[in-house]
Amino acid sequence: MTEMMLKVEDLHARYGAVEVLRGLDFEVPEGNVVVVLGANGAGKTTTLRALCNMCTTTGTVLFEGDDITRAKTADIVRRGVAHVPQGRGTFPELSVMDNLKIGAYTRKDNEVGADVDRWFEIFPRLEERRDQLAGSLSGGEQQMLAVARALMCRPRLLLLDEPSLGLAPLIIEDLFERFAQLNKETGLTMLLVEQNANLALDMADYGYVIESGEIALHGPAEQLKNDPAVQEAYLGA
Amino acid sequence: MDVVLLLQRIFDALFNSAIYSSLALALVIIFRSTGLLNFAQGEMATFSAYIAFVLLAGAAPGVKGGGLASWIGAPLVTPVAIGLAVIIGIGAGAATERVLIRPLRNAPELALVNVTIGILLALNSLMGQWWGTGPRVFPPFFPSSPGDHIDIAGARIRYSTVGAWLVLLTLLLLLALLLRYTRAGLAFRAVSIDPVSAALNGIRVGPTLMYGWALAAGLGAIAANMSANSVLLEPTMMVRVLVYAFAAATLGGLDSPKGALVGGVVVGLSQTLIPAYVPFIGFELSVLPALVAMVVVLIVRPAGLFGTQRIERV
């Protein structure tokens, strides 16, 4: 049995009077890629936001055994949880290089430069555009920057919020290949929220399906792929 | 037109320009980071000048706080007193953010603006209560005897004007270096652009804003201590200056340090030159040209001369 990197118990989240998550329980084992599937408005984005304490929550979130439910967003990041939100977490008015430096803000070691080179190897387009403003990049390049900037803090858990949103199919495939490569080469644990169930389940080890803020279904990725209900709802079969 | 007189008027105006630019810069720092117009900026600055005044006076009769000041060695010499007062002003700026602004971080912006107006009124009353509303003599920051000036083409530029500009430009240079080359500067830029994204990069937003308030309070304190000699120290001495600084900051673009500098120069010059050469605008209306320029800029180019035209994601 692998050690649990993230363990979530009875997670509720609300925006004002509206309860969006109604008691989620899920786990992310170390080294795994776990995907959360669901329709628009099911609470996928809120799940990731709740993990980083970006909305009002109750319940328990354990990261590497420590309770981070009440920790501040910045301190959760410092513990090693990097979040790539839909808003992308980057700064359009700053250069690609400055964005990466901000990503490494929490680090005090002197290997930041080496890490920049490493992510430039995986995302070569970013190196070509290192001095351009992030806001001037194409959608795909911005998403690459968003991921690279999140990786700069050397996270142990990467939260990805619909990285495929708004991107062309070829770019999405390319991006997901790089995610798979990252997971394989570095053993980086990922929690991925996606509408593109096909690609996500191909890469993932385990999956959860949420409906109206509750977990409707979960199981190994292979099994979910062959589940008739999932196929009908998310795989367009 | 008398060229020497024109030059002399420009030289005289440049001192005010430096003060307006400094206070405008303080406003810009807080606007960029906290997204807030700090109406208390002027009063916070004046308060620091009163601290210097107390440190200079020591336990003189009728000086509130003089006893406390003499406990740390007052009366102090001018540079030490002003230096200490600026440091106290910086600390007070940080404390203001921590105690009065941060607890309201989720409140609407208008509520926060009201808080700064409240601070303005509270400080103003407090200063009146403690040190009286009448003007006080304040020592010069720079040599200001009748002979302390440089002659250029027949006109005279006073040491205090040259000094004020040297101080302002030095501070601007330090600020630019701080923002561009330090970790704290990077954090500050990130928080200014997007506090949510900044937190997602592990930057603690609250403390970063606190440094911004401290920095702004320091700039204001220096401006007040530089000008308290020429305008005489009184609780309302920065009220007019704040209006001009607002005009300067708006003109330059509320989020642009460069804009604050240029705006301050334009407002300072227009305040002196336009009444001098446009007969129907007397010196009583000297604020008018700056405010008209501000309105025109807001209509033609809402972001100001150097302000950021926001890049929007689509």
Percent of chain B whose predicted confidence (pLDDT) is above 70: 98
The residue segments making up the domain with residue B144 are 23-237
Mutant choice from A53, A54, A73 vs B, greatest count of B C-beta within 10 A:
A73
Q: How confident is the model at residue B305 (pLDDT cuts 50, 70, 90)?
A: confident
Q: Which of A134, A153, A172 is the last residue of a domain?
A: A153
Q: How confident is the model at residue B68 (pLDDT cuts 50, 70, 90)?
A: confident
Q: Are residues A169 and A129 in the same domain?
A: no
Q: Is B152 contained in some domain?
A: yes
3-state secondary structure of A105: coil
Q: Are residues A169 and A76 in the same domain?
A: yes
Q: Are residues A176 and A225 in the same domain?
A: yes
Q: Are residues A114 and A139 in the same domain?
A: yes
What single letter denotes the amino acid at residue A13? A
Mutant choice from B33, B183, B201 vs A, greatest count of A C-beta within 10 A:
B201
The lowest-confidence range among B42-56, B98-112, B292-306 is B292-306
The whole-angstrom separation of Cα B211 and Cα A185 is: 41
Q: Is B290 contained in some domain?
A: no
The stretch B206-223 carries a mean pLDDT of 95
- The backbone region for A213, taken as left when phi is positive above 0, alpha when psi lies in -120 to 50, beta otherwise, is left
> Is B243:B287 a contact under the CB 8 Å cutoff?
yes
Rg of chain A over all Cα atoms, to the nearest angstrom = 17
Task: List chain B residues with CB under 8 Å of A103.
Answer: 201
Is A105 in contact with B201 (Cβ distance < 8 A)? yes
* Structure-block tokens of residue B263: 């705006």
Q: Are residues A31 and A41 in the same domain?
A: yes
Q: Which residue has the higher pLDDT, B141 or A233?
A: B141
Q: Where are the beta strands (DSSP E) in chain A?
A: 4-15, 18-29, 33-37, 56-63, 66-67, 81-84, 157-161, 189-194, 206-211, 214-220
The whole-angstrom separation of Cα B268 and Cα B248 is: 9
- pLDDT, residue B289, reads 83
- pLDDT, residue B78, reads 92
Q: Is A86 contained in some domain?
A: no
Question: Closest Cα to residue A172, out of A213, A216, A139, A205?
Answer: A139
Rounded to a whole number, what is the distance in Å from the CA of A120 to chain B's nearest CA? 19
Rg of chain B over all Cα atoms, to the nearest angstrom = 20
Q: Are residues A72 and A160 in the same domain?
A: yes
Instruction: Tell me the pLDDT tens digit for each residue of A37-68.
Output: 988 888 999 999 999 999 889 999 999 999 99
* Structure-block tokens of residue A45: 């984005």
Instruction: Tell me the pLDDT tens digit for each residue of B131-151.
Output: 999 999 999 989 888 889 999
- Considering only the beta carbons, identify the residue of B200, B202, B313 that sits closest to A85: B200
The whole-angstrom separation of Cα B42 and Cα B26 is: 10
Chain B residues whose C-beta sits inside 8 Å of any chain A C-beta: 183, 186-187, 189-190, 193-194, 196-205, 308, 311, 313
3-state secondary structure of B202: coil
Q: Is A70 contained in some domain?
A: yes
CATH number, domain with residue A54:
3.40.50.300
Question: Closest Cα to residue B117, out of B43, B60, B19?
Answer: B43
Q: Which of A129, A153, A177 is the last residue of a domain?
A: A153
- pLDDT, residue B311, reads 54
Q: Are residues A217 and A105 in the same domain?
A: no
Q: Is B213 contained in some domain?
A: yes
Q: How confident is the model at residue B48 (pLDDT cuts 50, 70, 90)?
A: very high
- Exposed e or buried b per residue across B226-262, where buried means at least 16 C-beta atoms within 10 angstroms of its C-beta: bbbbbbebbbebbeebbbbbbbbbbbbbbbbbbbbbb
Q: CB under 8 Å to A120, separation ≥6 — which residues? A: A126, A127, A130
Q: Are residues A190 and A222 in the same domain?
A: yes
Q: Are residues A22 and A131 in the same domain?
A: no
Q: How confident is the model at residue B314 (pLDDT cuts 50, 70, 90)?
A: very low
Q: Is A85 contained in some domain?
A: no
Is A77 in contact with B313 (Cβ distance < 8 A)? no
Residue of A nearest to B193 (CA): A91
The whole-angstrom separation of Cα B87 and Cα B218 is: 7
Q: How confident is the model at residue B202 (pLDDT cuts 50, 70, 90)?
A: very high
Number of structural domains chain A divides into: 2
Q: How confident is the model at residue A237 (pLDDT cuts 50, 70, 90)?
A: low
In order, the DSSP letters of A134-167 are: GGGS-HHHHHHHHHHHHHTT--SEEEEE-TTTT-
The residue segments making up the domain with residue A174 are 4-80+155-234
> Is B92:B213 a contact under the CB 8 Å cutoff?
no
Instruction: Tell me the pLDDT tens digit for each residue of A139-149.
Output: 889 988 999 99
Q: Which residue has the higher pLDDT, A120 or B73?
A: A120
The whole-angstrom separation of Cα B67 and Cα B130 is: 13
Residue of B nearest to A106 (CA): B202
In order, the DSSP letters of B243-311 are: HHHHHHHHHH-TT-HHHHHHHHHHHHHHHHHHHHH-TTS-GGGTTHHHHHHHHHHHHH-TT-SS-----
Mutant choice from A91, A95, A152 vs B, greatest count of B C-beta within 10 A:
A91
Question: Closest Cα to residue B202, out of A112, A89, A114?
Answer: A89
* Structure-block tokens of residue B290: 């700056």
> Is B309:B303 a contact under the CB 8 Å cutoff?
yes
Number of structural domains chain B divides into: 1
The whole-angstrom separation of Cα A126 and Cα A119 is: 9
Task: Name A63's bridge partners.
Answer: A6, A66
- At residue B313, does pLDDT exceed 60? no
Q: Are residues A160 and A100 in the same domain?
A: no
The stretch A126-139 carries a mean pLDDT of 93
Q: What is the mean pLDDT of chain B?
A: 91
Q: Are residues A112 and A57 in the same domain?
A: no
- At residue A3, does pLDDT exceed 80? no
Instruction: Tell me the pLDDT tens digit for each residue of B83-110.
Output: 999 999 999 999 999 999 999 988 888 9
Q: What is residue B236's DSSP assignment? A: T
- pLDDT, residue A60, reads 95
Q: Is B97 contained in some domain?
A: yes
- pLDDT, residue B156, reads 93
Q: Which of A125, A153, A181 is the last residue of a domain?
A: A153
- At residue B247, does pLDDT exceed 80? yes
Q: Is B265 contained in some domain?
A: no
Is A135 in contact with B205 (Cβ distance < 8 A)? no
Q: Is B281 contained in some domain?
A: no
- pLDDT, residue B312, reads 53
Percent of chain A whose predicted confidence (pLDDT) is above 70: 97
- pLDDT, residue A62, reads 96
Q: Is A126 contained in some domain?
A: yes
The stretch B51-76 carries a mean pLDDT of 87
Q: What are phi and psi of B161, to 5 degrees?
A: -70, -45
Q: Is B262 contained in some domain?
A: no
Is B201 in contact with A89 (Cβ distance < 8 A)? yes
Q: How confident is the model at residue A236 (pLDDT cuts 50, 70, 90)?
A: low
Q: Are residues A226 and A167 in the same domain?
A: yes
3-state secondary structure of B143: coil
pTM (2 d.p.):
0.86
- At residue B116, does pLDDT exceed 80? yes
> Is B94:B213 a contact under the CB 8 Å cutoff?
yes
- Considering only the beta carbons, identify the residue of A72, A78, A92 that sits closest to B311: A92
Instruction: Tell me the pLDDT tens digit for each residue of B258-267.
Output: 999 999 999 9
The whole-angstrom separation of Cα B172 and Cα B25 is: 9
